[in-house]
Structure 1
Amino acid sequence: MSRVRRTPLLASLLAAALAAGALLGLGGAGSASGAVPPAPGWSLQWSDDFNGPDRALPNAADWQIDTGHGYPGGPANWGTGEVQNYTSSPDNLRLDGTGNLRITPLKDGAGNWTSARIETKRADFKAPAGGTLRIEGRIQMPNVTGDAALGYWPAFWALGAPYRGNYWNWPAIGEFDIMENVNGVNSVWGVLHCGVNPGGPCGETTGIGASRTCPGASCQSAFHTYRFEWDRSVSPNELRWYVDDQLFHSVNETRVGAQAWADMTSHAGYFILLNVAMGGAFPDALAGKTPTAATVSGRPMLVDYVAVWTRGGGSTTTPPPTTPPPTTPPPSGSSQLYLRTGGGAGDATAAATVSLASAGGANHDGTPVNPQVFTSGPITRTYNGGSTQFDLFVDAGSVVANGQQVRVSYDRTGDGSWERVETYQYFATDPVPGYEHYTQARGLKSATGGHGNLANGRVRIEVWNAIGNGPSTLGVGDRSVVRIPFS
């Protein structure tokens, strides 16, 4: 939701996303989930779950409401060419009495649009030194698609604190677009804006972005969880974007350069925004002129909660324990197994690292040799029909042609027989120091057996260097996670 927006490149990306979205069925609309969910291993810093009576405005102690067509003294039409007038009317902005915030664009009889935009009062959300910031929201986009959606531009995003009161220092102060959508396309966009406009290290006015369809039900028909992380525990520092815990975009400091990174991270912090714009440069990238006569009025964006957590701080590594910790099952209500020093897997712990031994120039593709092994159990859970997912932090430093590999095995009853064994294609790390993400997107190399319910069962994760002549580093504690398909 930048001050100036979008290029023809976005038009092609939007068209592709629209074509992809048309192939997906629509799911149920869902509802508010209640309180902000726990996040094991994280410390909650601030949250709002939008509980309150119907037609109440959001809590004035936490939020300020933007009105009109721009900040006083700032760019007209919010710098993006949007056509709506933002108001504080409960018709546009209200709690719904069932645990949601609703932001509803409306068109009057003369064809004029109104909508709403709010910002957190706090503008100091920032990753602690040596730690990680997490901003998350559970949101259902306006439930409208096709021609009726032309011009809709919902967003969940954050701006650097120095923007307040200046309004002309964008994009140097930084912008993190955690969730953007346009014209009812079944896709979520995550975008970083930085540096100078036009051009610069973030390629403004477009920014550095990526998009993907929403998992399962479409973005418009159901709630999804959108998360952004700013990680200062890794070198180089990194920004990451997720939808429903699935990573779809990342940018590290090396990509934009030290100066641009410092400009957007060395100030007091960020404030969070929620809004639904109508028209403007991003919707126009696809439709040419929006909204149109076919655009329908009154489709709200629903926000169940917004929360901010931090994790870690200080040292980015911890010494290995003198005795291995006991293996543990996944945290209650979760199927996430964080890899831990000592060979356990369970709740997240302090960030640390373990070394993966060199493959010694041999080819160990598919066969664990000197692996790091992590186990968890006993676990009693029901197979949910899904598949294994993982996000491993790996780094080969400056070593050329190293490839890390993972094997995940399931012992359903804990008797030592591994009924399901999955070996994934190895991940070729680059010879540039800094963590990379190895995920299940690399694809299965082989799989034996089948899934079934776990009854006092165990899960084993083996990670090793399949190829190469040097060691690698695996981030553990709160860095590498395996998500098992059990509930």
Structure 2
Amino acid sequence: MRQTSHTKRPAVRRAVLAALSTIAVAAAASVAVVLPAGATAPPTPAGWSQVFLDDFDGPAGSGLNTADWQYTTGTSYPGGPERFGTGEIETMTADPANVSLDGAGNLRITPRRDAAGNWTSGRVETRRSDFQPPAGGTLRAEARIQMPNVTGPAAKGYWPAFWMLGAPYRGNWWNWPGVGEIDILENVQGINQVWATMHCGTSPGGPCNEKSGIGGQRVCPGTSCQGGFHTYAAEWDRSTAVEQVRFYVDGINFHTVRADQVDAATWTNATNHGYFIILNVAMGGEFPAAFGGGPDAATEPGHPMVVDYVSVLRRAGGTAPPTTPPTTPPTTPPTTPPTTPPAGNRDAYAPIQAESYDSQAGVAKETTTDTGGGQDLTTLANGDWAVYKGVDFGPAAARQFRGRVASGAAGGVSGLVEVRLDSPTAAPVGSFSVANTGGWQSWRTVPANITAITGTHDVYLTFTSGQSADFVNLNWFDFGH
């Protein structure tokens, strides 16, 4: 985070559990079980043990169980960075108006604005800070959440999150991001999108590209993120050949961070300890600022993040996978990513490796020193292009484009990275300019706005300059809403 429910009466709980007990749940815990609003948490899958669960049962207006949770109040940790280090503007409180149970089995964290324009909200943390996988095993942190149901100008400045921080942060407050942060759910501005990120290393820059971190994103499947409940989870897996953290929405693995994407010391510093869990809704700050800022006079207070349950599961090392295959495809990537990913059927909202083109003119490949390794495209100059076939934008329009670029171009040499659809001579739907970034392996992520895109297209990246000299290298690109 740097970055209508039905009452849960005991009879309803028993009925739901009885129904769910007949469902075979994969031990990988990445198969989403669709639950009605206000339903109890699903039963523990075979091969896993429950180490934490809060179903948020209690009278309407009551507070959290303080044996499990603690309220973080004010505008910072004592002696820590102002505005929690993110520039958010609200004051966090323990007032039931900001943080309370709703009597229907949910926790509500609700931003409020007073007559003077001052914002308050809520931030709560687990008292436990020892959540980590056993040696050779896996930890799964999961919550079923409806994001604040507000969109458009009324959502400007909203920043809900479900995330984890490394235990050494408590009492130090200045060792971020080295101690690690795992953002399972973040959202801003009421956009139908979930962002997931791992923070580590040093800031700014460093091996984890701070303050951005190593992130991924996708549209919520089915109902929008704001329009209904979805299950958000992270699996921290020490059973694979390369340790990794996988991120899920409704059982779909949409982002993975592997230990071999950073140096060994950075990974160890971020993962050689436990974590604690945080739920909060910030207002304003660095992340909303990247998408238009806020809050402002048009922002509507009073829209809560609604949390049905929070669950933490552990699976011991050596646990065999289930003999019944899960209903979703396996989500663990190969331990060594292919140098060139396969063409076609590409997800517009996941990074597309530049070297995975289907055809090109004038480009070359080279080994990159950028985070994650692999290859980049080099010697890109005026008139060069590459095509990436079958990029699926889905029904919700993409309006943003990002490219990971580096340039050692001479002074006065610059150019445009342009996006065109289905033809290298089509009018660009968007572009950004690039000049010297400090070197041909000095990488930065550059955003641009694009004309709305839906459906599936062949994406042409074209490179245009008023000079003939090479002006840019490209490592990867993706799109956003």
Query: What range is the shorter-chain TM-score in?
Result: 0.5 to 0.7
Conserved 8 A contact 1:36-1:49: no
**2:193 is matched with which residue: 184, 187, 192?**
187
Question: Which residues in structure 2 correspond to 1:326-337 (within 5 Å)?
Answer: none
Please tell me the residue identity of whatever aligns with 1:299. Answer: H
Equivalent pair of 1:117/1:273 in contact (CA under 8 Å): yes
| Alpha-carbon contact 2:201-2:208 (below 8 Å) kept | yes
Letter in 1 for 2:263: G
Does 1:139 pair with 2:78?
A: no
Q: 1:114 to 1:397 in 2, by over 3 A?
A: closer
Cα offset, 1:248, TM superposition: 0.4
2:329 aligned residue? 390
Percent identity of the aligned residues? 55
Q: Does 1:90 align with 2:96?
A: yes
Cα pair distance change 1:394/1:291, threshold 3 Å? closer
2:2 aligned residue: 2
Structure 1 residue 40: Cα displacement = 2.9
Secondary structure at the aligned position of 1:273 is classed as strand
Mind listing any 5+ residue stretches in structure 1 that lack a counterpart?
Answer: 4-28, 319-337, 348-387, 404-441, 444-487
TM-score of the superposed pair, with normalisation by structure 2:
0.62
What is the aligned residue count?
Answer: 319
Q: Mapping of 1:143-292 within 5 angstroms?
A: 143-267=149-273, 269-287=274-292, 289-292=293-296
Query: What displacement does 1:401 show?
Result: 9.5
CA drift at 1:265: 1.0
Distance 2:82 2:205 in 1: 22
Contact 1:36/1:305 (<8 A) preserved: no
Query: d(CA) in 2 for partners of 1:168 and 1:294?
Result: 35
Q: Deviations over 1:299-339 (max 9, x none)?
A: 000000000001122x47x7xxxxxxxxxxxxxxxxxxx66
- What one-letter code is carried by the residue in structure 2 that aligns with 1:115? S
Runs of 4 or more, structure 1, over 6 Å off, are: 396-403
Task: Give me the whole-angstrom Cα distance separating, in 2, the residues matched to 1:35 and 1:162.
Answer: 30
Task: State whether residues 123 and 278 of structure 2, in contact with CA within 8 Å, keep that contact through their aligned partners in structure 1.
Answer: yes
Residue in structure 2 matched with residue 51 of structure 1 by the alignment:
57
Task: Please tell me whether the aligned partners of residues 396 and 402 of structure 1 are also in contact (alpha carbons under 8 angstroms).
Answer: no
**AA in 1 matched with 2:101:** L
Cα distance per residue 1:162-210 (max 9 Å; x no partner): 0000000000000000000000000000000000001111100100101
1:248 and 1:80 map into 2 onto residues whose CA distance is 25
Give matches, 1:63-82, under 5 Å.
Answer: 63-82=69-88
What is the CA–CA distance in structure 2 between the aligned matches of 1:395 and 1:255, rounded to whole Å? Answer: 13
| Unaligned residue ranges in structure 2 (runs of 5+) | 4-34, 343-389, 392-481
CA distance in 2 between counterparts of 1:56 and 1:191 reads: 32
Structure-1 residue corresponding to 2:401:
none
In 1, Cα distance between equivalents of 2:38 and 2:338: 48
1:393 is displaced (CA, Å) by 4.2
Q: Displacement, 1:130?
A: 0.2
Q: Distance in 1 between matches of 2:276 and 2:338?
A: 40
SS of structure 2 residue aligned to 1:272: strand
Asked if structure 1 preserves the Cα contact closer than 8 Å seen for 2:2 and 2:287, the reply is no
In the TM superposition, residue 235 of structure 1 has moved relative to its aligned partner by 1.4
For 1:94 and 1:74, locate their aligned partners in 2 and report how far apart those are by CA, in whole Å: 26
2:95, 2:331 → 1: CA distance? Answer: 46
Alignment of 1:359-370 (within 5 A): none
Does the CA-based 8 Å contact 2:89-2:119 persist in structure 1? yes
Q: In the TM superposition, what are the counterparts of 1:465-484 in structure 2 within 5 Å?
A: none
TM-score, length-normalised on structure 1? 0.62
Cα drift, residue 41 of structure 1? 2.6
For 2:329, what is the secondary structure of its paired residue?
A: strand
Which one-letter code corresponds to 1:201 in the other structure? P
Question: Match of 2:311?
Answer: 307
